[in-house]
Amino acid sequence: MKGYKRIFDLDLVLMAILAAFATAFLIDSRSYNPTPALFPRLISIIVLICVLWTVVYRLREMFGKPQEDDSHPVEEGAPKPKGVMAWYASVITMVLYFLLMYGIGFAWAAAVYLVVIPILLGYRKYKMIFAIAAMWTLSFVLVFTYVVHTRIPGGWLGEFIHQLTSR
């Protein structure tokens, strides 16, 4: 619909869901010891700041004065620009990542996620995608294992490999 500003914006719904999760993690981390609570608190606070920033920006965009770019609203059926993913696709990939993490383990799930997301966003330099995914995954594993001293979920695949190698 041309010129129509939605009062019920789906991006704001996603921001409310993310804020609820971050708040729940922040409240839950109060029962942790100070050292293990640092990471969830830090991430929760960063997420809440980003959500607040996004909501304020979105509300200014919706109810603020129209700018020059707002004079030509985008048609509903117009294709999205390259490198843009719908919010629901982003949520689906995050849920699948979470499920994969407990299925095949953190390291493998992170590697798969870091390969799939750039491809879904239209990035086609596959050697770069795989190199970056490998470096980030290795960095995550090393930091969580040796710096933060946190056990990484191995998933059923990790347990299976552990059973095979322990014989």
Specify the pLDDT at position 34.
Answer: 83
Together in a domain, 55 and 7: yes
Together in a domain, 92 and 21: no
Question: Considering 59, 77, 95, which residue would you say is the last residue of a domain?
Answer: 77
Together in a domain, 101 and 60: no
Together in a domain, 40 and 62: yes
Together in a domain, 87 and 50: no
Contacts 24+ apart (CB under 8 A), 35-41: 36/150, 39/148, 39/150
Q: Is the pLDDT of residue 2 over 60?
A: no
Specify the pLDDT at position 72.
Answer: 52
pTM higher than the cut 0.85: no
**Rounded distance between C-alpha atoms, residue 70 and residue 83, angstroms:** 22
**Rounded distance between C-alpha atoms, residue 167 and residue 153, angstroms:** 21
Together in a domain, 15 and 92: no
**Rounded distance between C-alpha atoms, residue 120 and residue 117, angstroms:** 5
In terms of residue numbers, what domain contains 83?
Answer: 79-167
**Rounded distance between C-alpha atoms, residue 111 and residue 103, angstroms:** 14
Count of structural domains within the chain: 2
Kindly list the distances between the CA atom of residue 73 and the CA atoms of 35, 69, 70, 138, 161, in Å, as whole numbers in the listed order: 49, 8, 6, 44, 55
**Rounded distance between C-alpha atoms, residue 30 and residue 72, angstroms:** 49
SS (H, E, C) 104-130: HCHHHHHHHHHHHHHHHCCCCCHHHHH
Specify the pLDDT at position 54.
Answer: 87
Together in a domain, 118 and 40: no
Together in a domain, 92 and 154: yes
Q: Is the pLDDT of residue 48 over 70?
A: yes
Together in a domain, 85 and 162: yes
Specify the pLDDT at position 139.
Answer: 94
Together in a domain, 73 and 88: no
Together in a domain, 114 and 143: yes
